[in-house]
Amino acid sequence: DAGVIQSPRHEVTEMGQEVTLRCKPISGHNSLFWYRQTMMRGLELLIYFNNNVPIDDSGMPEDRFSAKMPNASFSTLKIQPSEPRDSAVYFCASSLSGTHKSEQFFGPGTRLTVL
Amino acid sequence: AQSVTQLGSHVSVSEGALVLLRCNYSSSVPPYLFWYVQYPNQGLQLLLKYTTGATLVKGINGFEAEFKKSETSFHLTKPSAHMSDAAEYFCAVRGGANSKLTFGKGITLSVRP
């Protein structure tokens, strides 16, 4: 199994630009999670989906952030416009929910730097 | 509602010494508990988990953790630290069937030669 795939691995952009992060979950998993990790705030859950439907987006910091999951094998997290304080590592994770085996499997992360 | 407390942000041990990383949780329903490890510039990897059954769970790399309901704890231990154990460790709780994991702030483990 290829695991959770994220792209790009690194992104450097200028303030005001649109940024799109991509995630491919593990095949067969029906839950997908987006996290942000910073030194100051640690690991924060931004949003998660069950069966492609957003369930909890209370962690999305503001309207500049949006996430979609058009199908079971793909999700995007978009920041528009980006700001320097958005610099962080963004992780995607997936799991098979509804069972006791539903641990989350994490991707390698996207390191975002907004100048 | 659920939460995780990992006291302190950094633990340093000598190679060969006991590793003890503390985790306390709160959950309004029977919890599922997890420990993840994050090596530098990598994502999180599952070390071990408790769902039901035996309260002492063994994980990868010689780590184990014991679920103590009366103490609301799930401390992580390893009898003998290796240099390769240096990483950040996260405790997490999931409240029953809810998919959402709540993570602690993480603890950085350093291993001295």
Average pLDDT over residues A10-17: 97
In this predicted structure, the answer to whether residue B97 has a pLDDT above a threshold of 80 is no
pLDDT in tens, A34-78: 999 998 888 899 999 999 999 889 899 889 999 999 999 999 999
> pLDDT at position B98, please?
62
> pLDDT at position A98, please?
61
In this predicted structure, the answer to whether residue A100 has a pLDDT above a threshold of 60 is no
Could you tell me what percent of chain A has a pLDDT over 70?
A: 96
> pLDDT at position B6, please?
94
Distance from CA of B50 to the nearest CA of A (A): 9
A37 contacts A110 by C-beta, under 8 angstroms:
no
Distance CA(B108)–CA(B89), nearest Å, equals 6
Tokens coding B55: 């309260």
Distance from CA of A40 to the nearest CA of B (A): 10
pLDDT in tens, B10-57: 999 999 999 999 999 998 888 899 999 999 888 999 999 998 888 999
Residues of chain A with Cβ-Cβ distance to B90 below 8 Å are 43
pLDDT in tens, B59-92: 999 999 999 999 999 999 999 999 999 999 999 9
Residues of chain B with Cβ-Cβ distance to A105 below 8 Å are 46
Question: Which of A69, A103, A105 to mutate to probe the B interface, most B CBs <10 Å?
Answer: A103
Cis amide linkage into residue A81, ω under 30° from 0? yes
CA quadruple A25, A111, B46, B68: dihedral sign: negative
What's the mean pLDDT when you consider all of chain A?
92
> pLDDT at position A86, please?
96
Residues of chain B with Cβ-Cβ distance to A93 below 8 Å are 43-44
Residue in A50, A98, A108 nearest the CB of B43: A108
B106 touches chain A (CB under 8 A): yes
Residue in A31, A43, A101 nearest the CB of B99: A31
Count of CB atoms situated within 10 Å of the CB of B79: 11
Burial status of residue B87 (CB atoms within 10 A of its CB: 0-12, 13-18, 19 or more): buried
